[in-house]
Amino acid sequence: MGELLTKPLLSIIIPAHNEAERLPPTLEQIKAFLASQDYQAEILVVENGSSDGTLQIAKAFQDGMPNLRVFSESERGKGLAVRRGMLEAQGAYRFLCDADLSMPVEQVNRFLPPVLTEVDVAIGSRELPGSRRIDEPGYRHLIGRIFNALVRTLVLPGIQDSQCGFKCFSAEAAEAVFPLQTMGGMSFDAEVLFIARRQGYRLQEVAIDWYFDPDSRVRLVQDSLRMGLDLLKIRQNARQGRYDA
Ligand SMILES: Nc1nc2c(ncn2[C@@H]2O[C@H](COP(=O)(O)OP(=O)(O)O)[C@@H](O)[C@H]2O)c(=O)[nH]1
Ligand SMILES: [Mg+2]
Protein backbone atom coordinates (compact mmCIF):
# COMPACT_ATOMS: atom_id res chain seq x y z
CA MET A 1 0.00 0.00 0.00
CA GLY A 2 0.99 3.62 -0.19
CA GLU A 3 1.86 3.51 -3.88
CA LEU A 4 0.00 6.06 -5.90
CA LEU A 5 -1.69 4.73 -9.01
CA THR A 6 -0.36 7.56 -11.11
CA LYS A 7 2.70 9.71 -10.64
CA PRO A 8 1.93 12.64 -8.34
CA LEU A 9 1.90 16.20 -9.58
CA LEU A 10 3.79 17.38 -6.52
CA SER A 11 6.54 15.94 -4.33
CA ILE A 12 7.27 17.81 -1.11
CA ILE A 13 10.80 17.09 0.11
CA ILE A 14 11.60 17.82 3.73
CA PRO A 15 15.22 17.56 4.91
CA ALA A 16 15.21 16.87 8.64
CA HIS A 17 17.97 16.89 11.20
CA ASN A 18 16.90 16.80 14.86
CA GLU A 19 13.36 17.86 13.98
CA ALA A 20 11.43 15.81 16.57
CA GLU A 21 9.67 18.99 17.74
CA ARG A 22 9.03 20.80 14.48
CA LEU A 23 8.30 17.93 12.10
CA PRO A 24 4.97 16.62 13.56
CA PRO A 25 3.06 19.94 13.31
CA THR A 26 4.57 20.49 9.86
CA LEU A 27 3.38 17.09 8.62
CA GLU A 28 -0.08 17.75 10.09
CA GLN A 29 -0.33 21.08 8.29
CA ILE A 30 0.83 19.61 4.99
CA LYS A 31 -1.63 16.73 5.33
CA ALA A 32 -4.55 19.07 5.99
CA PHE A 33 -3.56 21.33 3.12
CA LEU A 34 -3.15 18.52 0.59
CA ALA A 35 -6.53 17.07 1.55
CA SER A 36 -8.13 20.26 0.21
CA GLN A 37 -6.24 20.25 -3.10
CA ASP A 38 -7.38 18.54 -6.28
CA TYR A 39 -3.97 17.12 -7.25
CA GLN A 40 -2.01 14.06 -6.16
CA ALA A 41 1.03 14.60 -3.98
CA GLU A 42 3.67 12.72 -2.06
CA ILE A 43 5.81 13.80 0.88
CA LEU A 44 9.40 12.70 1.34
CA VAL A 45 11.20 13.19 4.65
CA VAL A 46 14.96 12.71 4.39
CA GLU A 47 16.60 12.46 7.78
CA ASN A 48 20.25 12.18 8.66
CA GLY A 49 22.34 12.19 11.77
CA SER A 50 19.54 12.97 14.21
CA SER A 51 19.87 12.04 17.88
CA ASP A 52 16.32 12.90 18.93
CA GLY A 53 14.23 10.18 17.29
CA THR A 54 13.29 12.22 14.19
CA LEU A 55 13.44 9.11 12.00
CA GLN A 56 11.11 7.07 14.23
CA ILE A 57 8.69 9.98 14.55
CA ALA A 58 8.56 10.40 10.77
CA LYS A 59 7.96 6.68 10.27
CA ALA A 60 5.18 6.68 12.85
CA PHE A 61 3.35 9.24 10.71
CA GLN A 62 3.21 6.85 7.76
CA ASP A 63 0.23 5.01 9.28
CA GLY A 64 -1.97 8.07 8.85
CA MET A 65 -0.26 9.35 5.69
CA PRO A 66 0.00 6.70 2.97
CA ASN A 67 1.69 9.18 0.64
CA LEU A 68 4.56 9.81 3.08
CA ARG A 69 7.94 8.24 2.28
CA VAL A 70 10.80 8.34 4.76
CA PHE A 71 14.51 8.06 3.99
CA SER A 72 17.61 8.16 6.08
CA GLU A 73 21.17 9.03 5.05
CA SER A 74 24.10 8.03 7.21
CA GLU A 75 26.17 11.17 6.65
CA ARG A 76 25.04 14.59 7.93
CA GLY A 77 24.28 17.50 5.64
CA LYS A 78 21.20 19.30 4.30
CA GLY A 79 22.52 19.16 0.74
CA LEU A 80 22.92 15.39 0.83
CA ALA A 81 19.39 14.97 2.12
CA VAL A 82 17.89 17.27 -0.49
CA ARG A 83 19.68 15.51 -3.34
CA ARG A 84 18.42 12.13 -2.13
CA GLY A 85 14.85 13.41 -1.89
CA MET A 86 14.91 15.17 -5.26
CA LEU A 87 16.12 12.00 -6.98
CA GLU A 88 13.78 9.62 -5.11
CA ALA A 89 10.78 11.84 -5.87
CA GLN A 90 8.25 10.88 -8.55
CA GLY A 91 6.44 14.20 -8.88
CA ALA A 92 6.29 16.41 -11.94
CA TYR A 93 7.19 19.25 -9.55
CA ARG A 94 9.60 18.68 -6.65
CA PHE A 95 9.35 21.16 -3.85
CA LEU A 96 12.04 21.62 -1.22
CA CYS A 97 10.43 22.50 2.11
CA ASP A 98 12.20 23.26 5.40
CA ALA A 99 10.87 21.28 8.36
CA ASP A 100 9.97 24.48 10.21
CA LEU A 101 7.43 25.39 7.50
CA SER A 102 8.52 29.02 7.84
CA MET A 103 6.52 29.66 4.63
CA PRO A 104 2.75 29.06 4.93
CA VAL A 105 2.09 25.76 3.16
CA GLU A 106 -0.73 27.04 0.95
CA GLN A 107 1.79 29.30 -0.82
CA VAL A 108 3.19 26.17 -2.48
CA ASN A 109 0.57 26.75 -5.18
CA ARG A 110 2.43 29.94 -6.18
CA PHE A 111 5.15 27.61 -7.52
CA LEU A 112 2.85 25.45 -9.63
CA PRO A 113 0.67 25.87 -12.72
CA PRO A 114 -1.69 27.53 -13.29
CA VAL A 115 -0.22 30.29 -11.09
CA LEU A 116 3.34 29.84 -12.36
CA THR A 117 4.12 28.50 -15.81
CA GLU A 118 7.14 28.21 -18.09
CA VAL A 119 9.60 28.11 -15.21
CA ASP A 120 11.93 25.16 -14.50
CA VAL A 121 13.25 26.27 -11.13
CA ALA A 122 11.07 28.48 -8.95
CA ILE A 123 12.95 30.01 -6.04
CA GLY A 124 11.06 31.08 -2.92
CA SER A 125 12.25 34.60 -2.23
CA ARG A 126 12.13 36.89 0.79
CA GLU A 127 13.47 39.81 -1.25
CA LEU A 128 10.90 40.62 -3.92
CA PRO A 129 8.48 43.56 -3.74
CA GLY A 130 5.63 41.19 -2.78
CA SER A 131 7.65 39.26 -0.17
CA ARG A 132 7.10 39.58 3.56
CA ARG A 133 9.68 38.80 6.24
CA ILE A 134 8.08 38.45 9.63
CA ASP A 135 9.94 38.77 12.95
CA GLU A 136 13.45 38.58 11.51
CA PRO A 137 16.03 40.42 13.63
CA GLY A 138 17.84 43.18 11.74
CA TYR A 139 21.29 41.67 12.21
CA ARG A 140 20.16 38.37 10.65
CA HIS A 141 18.78 40.18 7.64
CA LEU A 142 22.01 42.15 7.31
CA ILE A 143 24.16 39.01 7.35
CA GLY A 144 21.87 37.49 4.75
CA ARG A 145 22.18 40.54 2.49
CA ILE A 146 25.97 40.54 2.74
CA PHE A 147 26.03 36.87 1.80
CA ASN A 148 23.63 37.48 -1.07
CA ALA A 149 25.87 40.25 -2.44
CA LEU A 150 28.67 37.67 -2.54
CA VAL A 151 26.40 35.10 -4.17
CA ARG A 152 25.29 37.55 -6.86
CA THR A 153 28.83 38.71 -7.53
CA LEU A 154 30.41 35.29 -7.66
CA VAL A 155 27.86 32.77 -8.92
CA LEU A 156 24.27 33.94 -9.42
CA PRO A 157 23.88 37.43 -10.90
CA GLY A 158 20.34 38.71 -10.48
CA ILE A 159 19.16 36.25 -7.83
CA GLN A 160 18.10 38.24 -4.76
CA ASP A 161 17.61 35.29 -2.39
CA SER A 162 19.29 31.95 -3.04
CA GLN A 163 19.16 30.67 0.55
CA CYS A 164 15.50 30.38 1.39
CA GLY A 165 14.41 26.80 2.13
CA PHE A 166 11.53 26.68 -0.37
CA LYS A 167 12.29 25.91 -4.01
CA CYS A 168 10.53 24.00 -6.73
CA PHE A 169 12.22 22.03 -9.54
CA SER A 170 10.52 20.49 -12.52
CA ALA A 171 11.18 16.75 -12.73
CA GLU A 172 13.39 17.30 -15.75
CA ALA A 173 15.48 20.02 -14.08
CA ALA A 174 15.83 17.99 -10.86
CA GLU A 175 17.01 14.92 -12.74
CA ALA A 176 19.53 16.95 -14.74
CA VAL A 177 20.89 19.09 -11.92
CA PHE A 178 21.06 17.04 -8.71
CA PRO A 179 23.33 14.27 -10.04
CA LEU A 180 25.95 16.99 -10.66
CA GLN A 181 25.72 18.49 -7.16
CA THR A 182 28.99 18.11 -5.24
CA MET A 183 28.19 19.99 -2.01
CA GLY A 184 26.50 18.07 0.78
CA GLY A 185 26.14 20.93 3.25
CA MET A 186 24.44 24.31 3.39
CA SER A 187 26.06 25.64 0.18
CA PHE A 188 24.11 23.28 -2.01
CA ASP A 189 21.40 25.89 -2.84
CA ALA A 190 23.82 28.20 -4.61
CA GLU A 191 25.46 25.26 -6.35
CA VAL A 192 22.29 23.65 -7.73
CA LEU A 193 20.91 27.01 -8.90
CA PHE A 194 24.21 27.72 -10.64
CA ILE A 195 24.13 24.33 -12.37
CA ALA A 196 20.49 24.78 -13.39
CA ARG A 197 21.16 28.16 -14.98
CA ARG A 198 24.30 26.86 -16.69
CA GLN A 199 22.25 24.08 -18.25
CA GLY A 200 19.79 26.58 -19.65
CA TYR A 201 16.88 26.02 -17.27
CA ARG A 202 14.64 28.98 -16.56
CA LEU A 203 15.00 30.30 -13.01
CA GLN A 204 12.51 32.64 -11.42
CA GLU A 205 12.11 34.00 -7.91
CA VAL A 206 8.66 33.76 -6.33
CA ALA A 207 7.59 36.13 -3.55
CA ILE A 208 6.61 34.40 -0.31
CA ASP A 209 5.75 35.26 3.27
CA TRP A 210 8.48 34.02 5.56
CA TYR A 211 8.32 33.72 9.33
CA PHE A 212 11.65 33.88 11.12
CA ASP A 213 12.24 30.91 13.43
CA PRO A 214 15.09 31.43 15.92
CA ASP A 215 15.51 27.66 16.26
CA SER A 216 18.19 26.90 13.69
CA ARG A 217 20.54 24.13 12.59
CA VAL A 218 22.80 26.74 10.99
CA ARG A 219 25.96 27.76 12.85
CA LEU A 220 26.11 31.38 11.83
CA VAL A 221 29.87 32.07 11.84
CA GLN A 222 31.19 28.62 10.95
CA ASP A 223 28.64 27.95 8.22
CA SER A 224 28.90 31.46 6.72
CA LEU A 225 32.67 31.18 6.33
CA ARG A 226 32.33 27.74 4.83
CA MET A 227 29.70 28.96 2.42
CA GLY A 228 31.88 31.87 1.32
CA LEU A 229 34.67 29.47 0.42
CA ASP A 230 32.21 27.16 -1.32
CA LEU A 231 31.17 29.99 -3.65
CA LEU A 232 34.75 30.14 -4.90
CA LYS A 233 34.75 26.37 -5.19
CA ILE A 234 31.64 26.50 -7.41
CA ARG A 235 33.49 28.79 -9.83
CA GLN A 236 36.50 26.49 -9.78
CA ASN A 237 34.33 23.42 -10.39
CA ALA A 238 32.71 25.20 -13.33
CA ARG A 239 36.08 26.08 -14.86
CA GLN A 240 37.12 22.45 -14.48
CA GLY A 241 34.03 21.28 -16.33
CA ARG A 242 32.50 19.44 -13.37
CA TYR A 243 29.04 20.82 -14.11
CA ASP A 244 28.98 19.83 -17.75
CA ALA A 245 26.56 16.98 -18.18
N1 LIG B 1 18.57 15.97 6.60
C2 LIG B 1 19.16 17.07 7.08
N3 LIG B 1 18.48 18.20 7.20
C4 LIG B 1 19.11 19.28 7.70
C5 LIG B 1 20.47 19.26 8.10
N6 LIG B 1 20.78 20.51 8.56
C7 LIG B 1 19.65 21.27 8.44
N8 LIG B 1 18.65 20.51 7.93
C9 LIG B 1 17.26 20.92 7.65
O10 LIG B 1 17.27 22.08 6.88
C11 LIG B 1 16.12 22.86 7.18
C12 LIG B 1 16.49 24.28 7.52
O13 LIG B 1 17.10 24.27 8.78
P14 LIG B 1 16.93 25.46 9.82
O15 LIG B 1 17.62 25.04 11.04
O16 LIG B 1 15.50 25.87 9.93
O17 LIG B 1 17.77 26.58 9.08
P18 LIG B 1 17.52 28.13 8.98
O19 LIG B 1 16.07 28.34 8.72
O20 LIG B 1 18.39 28.55 7.82
O21 LIG B 1 17.99 28.70 10.28
C22 LIG B 1 15.39 22.10 8.28
O23 LIG B 1 14.40 21.30 7.70
C24 LIG B 1 16.49 21.27 8.90
O25 LIG B 1 16.05 20.10 9.57
C26 LIG B 1 21.18 18.02 7.96
O27 LIG B 1 22.35 17.89 8.28
N28 LIG B 1 20.48 16.98 7.45
MG1 LIG C 1 14.48 27.76 9.57
Please work out whether the CB of residue 47 comes within 6 Å of at least one atom of ligand 1: yes
Q: Is 198 inside any structural domain?
A: yes
Give bridge partners of residue 167 from the DSSP assignment.
96, 123
Please work out whether the CB of residue 161 comes within 6 Å of at least one atom of ligand 1: no
How many domains does the chain contain in total?
1
- Measure 211 CA to ligand 2 centroid, in angstroms: 9
Query: How many other CB atoms sit within 10 Å of the CB of residue 232?
Result: 12
Q: Is 87 inside any structural domain?
A: yes
Low-confidence ranges of the chain (pLDDT < 50): 1-2
Q: Which atom of ligand 1 is nearest to the CA of 19?
A: 25
Residue 218's pLDDT is 86
Residue 1's pLDDT is 41
Please work out whether the CB of residue 126 comes within 6 Å of at least one atom of ligand 1: no
Please work out whether the CB of residue 76 comes within 6 Å of at least one atom of ligand 1: yes
Q: Is 2 inside any structural domain?
A: no
Q: Is 3 inside any structural domain?
A: no
**CA–CA distance from 241 to each of 91, 172, 189 (Å)?**
29, 21, 19
Q: Is 220 inside any structural domain?
A: yes
Q: Is 120 inside any structural domain?
A: yes
Output 2-7 pairs: Cβ under 8 A, ≥24 positions apart.
2/62, 2/66, 2/67, 2/68, 2/69, 4/40, 4/42, 4/67, 4/90, 6/40, 7/40, 7/90, 7/91, 7/92
Q: Is 133 inside any structural domain?
A: yes
- Domain housing 210: 10-239
Which residue minimizes the CA distance to atom 24 of ligand 1?
16
Residue 5's pLDDT is 67
Residue 4's pLDDT is 55
Q: Is 4 inside any structural domain?
A: no
What's the CATH number where 58 sits? 3.90.550.10
pLDDT digits (tens, 9 = 90+) for 72-125: 999 999 999 999 999 999 999 999 999 999 999 999 999 999 999 999 999 999
